[in-house]
Amino acid sequence: MREEEKIKAGILFNPGDPELKAMKLRAHNLNMDYNQTYEDETEKRAAILAELIGELGEGSFIQGPIAFHYGKHTRIGRNFFGNFNLTIQDDAEVWIGDYCSFGPNATIVTPIHPMLPDERLELRTAEGDKKRLCYAKPVRIGSSCWFGASVTVCSGVTIGDNCVIGAGSVVTRDIPPDSFAAGVPCRVIRKLTEADSMKYKPEILADNQVIEG
């Protein structure tokens, strides 16, 4: 079994495998290419992202700088907005739905390392070799989610549609749809309802209007 297949199977893999290292080097170089562009070099940026990311939906914009570990393991829906310093360590697959907005310094991580120091240093493979091994779990984020600044989503987490995750949160467990969640570790504060509409904040809404229906 190839090391990339082991990642998808959720079992220990060798991140130092030559094939995986080549994938990561390619992605890291494309990150660097993107991060050296100007914001108005839209065609150049689009071409780099098309090479880097497994899927990026129409109408999406990523401010940069960016840091994708593999890139090809990430799929992002339509009308995504990623602010400064978006980091996605996509050893395992990462899915992000449509109309999501991430504040600056948003981070998604999928790999997990052994807890014990000796095992973190090396384990014995099926072939009898001693190697540094880890494993990874996929992350799934629904549509129409908003992440405040410096949100970190940990491996194996699923976040439902229409969620708001407060700034600085570390999400270590699943968050159900339509939730406002925050904290370290992140927990559900309350369900989002119609009472959260801007129409109930006239002092902020000013002379703007909520679009009904």
pTM flag (> 0.75): yes
Number of continuous H segments (helices) and E segments (strands) in the chain: 5, 21
Among candidate residues 181, 172, 128, the one with its CA nearest the CA of residue 152: 172
Residue 171 belongs to some domain of the structure: no
Whichever domain contains 25, its CATH number is 2.160.10.10
Residue 36 sits in which domain range? 3-158
Ramachandran angles phi, psi of 27, nearest 5°? -65, -45
Q: Is 140 helix (H, G, I), strand (E, B) or coil?
A: strand
Provide the β-strand partners of residue 68: 88
Residue 196 belongs to some domain of the structure: no
Say yes or no to pLDDT of 212 above 90. no
Cα(123)–Cα(129) distance, integer angstroms: 8
Task: List, for residues 140-182, the tens digit of each pLDDT value.
Answer: 999 999 999 999 999 999 999 999 999 999 999 999 999 999 9
- DSSP secondary structure code for residue 175 in this structure: B
Task: List, for residues 46-79, the tens digit of each pLDDT value.
Answer: 999 999 999 999 999 999 999 999 999 999 999 9
Provide the β-strand partners of residue 191: 179
* Number of structural domains in the chain: 1
Residue 195 belongs to some domain of the structure: no
Task: List, for residues 25-44, the tens digit of each pLDDT value.
Answer: 999 999 999 999 999 999 99
pLDDT score for 213: 75
Cα(27)–Cα(24) distance, integer angstroms: 5
Residue 132 belongs to some domain of the structure: yes
Residue 190 belongs to some domain of the structure: no
Percentage of the residues of the chain whose pLDDT score is greater than 70: 100
Residue 212 belongs to some domain of the structure: no
The residues annotated with a catalytic role in the active site are: 113
Residue 170 belongs to some domain of the structure: no
Residue 143 belongs to some domain of the structure: yes
Provide the β-strand partners of residue 13: 134
